[in-house]
Structure 1
């Protein structure tokens, strides 16, 4: 139930209860204006102006490198029953401009990205992985 204004003024809670009773009556067809109500939770939204956010770009290697590839191991890809040898990359070692071609796995602290054959992942200056999928 959206509420605007202050809740710390005299009579604010009784006004809030009246609004609640009105909304409850419209939604459910009944209300209990003489019964106490309990405020269980409040969700607050705020909009404000702020200075622009300046993010520091990731380090970009001067030469192409695959130092982020930590091993090669078999993995199941798609619906195929067979296992395929894939490169496994450590996400935390991928700097800006790092590129990896599928089939590959990119392992992070809380996720694993599976790159199918024909896909290419590139780490941008902000650290995002941009994945381009080719026709398989």
Structure 2
């Protein structure tokens, strides 16, 4: 499984903005923090805004980016599915473009579909809050 670059960036951007809950952040700040090209950052930020995850405030002096929803309500599987045009691991997952001669007689398709479902199911159990929530610290051992 390989996620598109914009899908990866969308999750990272959401994490960054969630960690800065009290402040407006800029696309430039995010771009520099993660070493992502500014133009890619702007594209992903705009899509996240259109999808309702981010609040985008325009303006040189009062503008910036904030979360538009609570981190607990932002499901990771939903974000991934909205950024991926398809989750076809192999060509036989898409009946419109499938040219595999084993189609219909291959157990690999079922095994890969099961793995893909497990991947999405696992992400469906996680929210943005799980990625940015309070860090658990381990107690210092007593000497």
Point out the structure with the larger helix share.
Answer: 2
Q: Which of the pair is proportionally richer in strand? A: 1
Ranked by relative contact order (alpha carbons within 8 Å, sequence separation 6 or more), the top structure is 2
Same fold? TM cut 0.5: no
TM-score, normalised on structure 1? Answer: 0.18
Larger Cα-atom Rg: 1
